[in-house]
Amino acid sequence: MRQMLFATSSVTALLIGANFAVAAPNGDAISVRVLLRGSVQATDAASAAEARRILAIGYDEASEAQASPVLAAVAARRGPTKANPAPPPPSTPIKTPTSTPTTPPVVVTPPPPASTPAIIGIIDSGIDLDHPEYAGRVLTGKCFGGTSTICNVTGASTGGDPGINSSAQPTHGTHVAGIAAGTTYGVAKDALLLPVKVCDTDSLNCPGDIPAGILWASQNGAKIINVSLGGSTLSASALAATQKAVTNGALMVVAAGNGGTDKVATGFLAGAALKPAVVGAMIVVGAVDSSNKIASFSQTPGATCETSSGATYCMRDYFVVAPGVNIKSSVGGGGYANKSGTSMATPYASGVAAKIKGSWSYLTPYQVADIIFTTAKDLGTPGADNIYGRGAVDVVAAMAPVGGSSVIAPTSGTTIATAACRRGVLTSHATGAFAAALRNSELLQAVTILDTYGRNFSADLTGGLNGSSALVAVDGATVRRDR
């Protein structure tokens, strides 16, 4: 990436591909053309004093060489295709420079919720279909009892759980669903729920056909599949069902286990996280308390690694933590209760995944997972470690721009121009009359920012241009203005 400082007749600013007029320091009107590559050329030398105060932006020349800016912008908005596949997720978090903002952040807004929100498959004991926490957002589910009798209760055939919460009836699935998507305590309040009953209402036993439930959920619209279950054996059928679910476009989010050991319960289902056709599309979740300290019962990734096709994959790279101690959520019978476990941490991560998927439906399971991994708050030893993995799931950071970015601004009609940068959308200084003109620009007030994953955000960048020297930048997961 190169940096440039333009000469007296050329300045760099935030607008792209548009003509507008500004007043020079001597009062003369100056016609300014904002070029496609991000430079602004003034047609009158009277702007020279202002031009020297404008810094250039850096370009990713390799990206520009691959395709025109217009095509790149359209492709980024469309998302990955067969002709333009998404890159594999990185094995380590993306780290971007940070600085301390000295003025309020520029407002960056994700697109409104999708007309068809993301569907979360809840593989559990079923949910209380009448609970007000998710009224109108529960799809017709199914029960997979195998040879057990768990389906022989009212409503079970459609994923329901008629139990009333008590020590004898934990109504586990109802609590999990409320964390993921409940109206009061849920993370993804607009998400749809697809209940799949494989566990007993009156205990924590799950005698049903879990692989069949996972596969069915993926075949019936679930793009996030929450599995707050554990076990001792990763069967061939469970692995095959998980691999097929990923192929069907589902992201698997599974519990680490409550054994309190330094090794994830790799028997079921977390053990599939490092397997071919699953690695990178499964998130394994441990639990932390309100102080972001690992819960005493939570299992951790440890030093578990596996080698496949010459590559080594380690559990810590696909492991995150989330709140899992004394978590309040819905329970059977229309009430609420506090429960603890990695079962409670897992739907928190599922809810964040559903928010991401609901806003940018074109993202693949690998991309959704990588956004969560990349934006997780680092805990413990710097980088991915054997206790916290990638760190604590951060919903705010996950819903903000990540990594290298672009700005898209309409020029006329449906024409789109873009300035692609390796890190930071645009960085510029402007002062005086020139800054005032930029501040009043309608184009700057409604720009679209695309992050590394092609996610679009709306932003008003004029706030950083206040007539005095100001910096406007998109850097990592934040958009801010610094004095």
Report the catalytic residues.
Answer: 124, 172, 343
What is the C-alpha separation between 369 and 390, in angstroms, rounded? 11
d(CA 54, CA 429): 5
CA distances from 393 to 116, 286, 302, 474 (A): 24, 10, 19, 21
Q: Quick one: tokens of 16?
A: 């792209």
* Residue 157 structure tokens: 């055939």
Q: Where are the beta strands (DSSP E) in 335-477?
A: 335-339, 406-410, 416-420, 447-450, 456-459, 471-475
Question: Which amino acid does the sequence have at 66?
Answer: Q
Tell which residue, 200, 183, 196, 222, has the closest CA to residue 329: 183
- Pairing outcome for strands 456-459 and 447-450: antiparallel
Cβ neighbours for 112, distance < 8 A, ≥ 6 positions apart: none
User: If phi over 0 gives left and psi between -120 and 50 gives alpha, with beta otherwise, what is residue 324?
Assistant: alpha
- Token pair, residue 51, equals 């031009």
Amino acid at 106: V
The answer, yes or no, to whether the previous bond of 269 is cis (omega within 30 of 0) is yes
- What token pair was written down for 121? 């498959």
The pair of structure tokens assigned to 315 is 């559990």
CA angle (16, 22, 24) in 5-degree steps: 130
Pairing of strands 406-410, 416-420: antiparallel
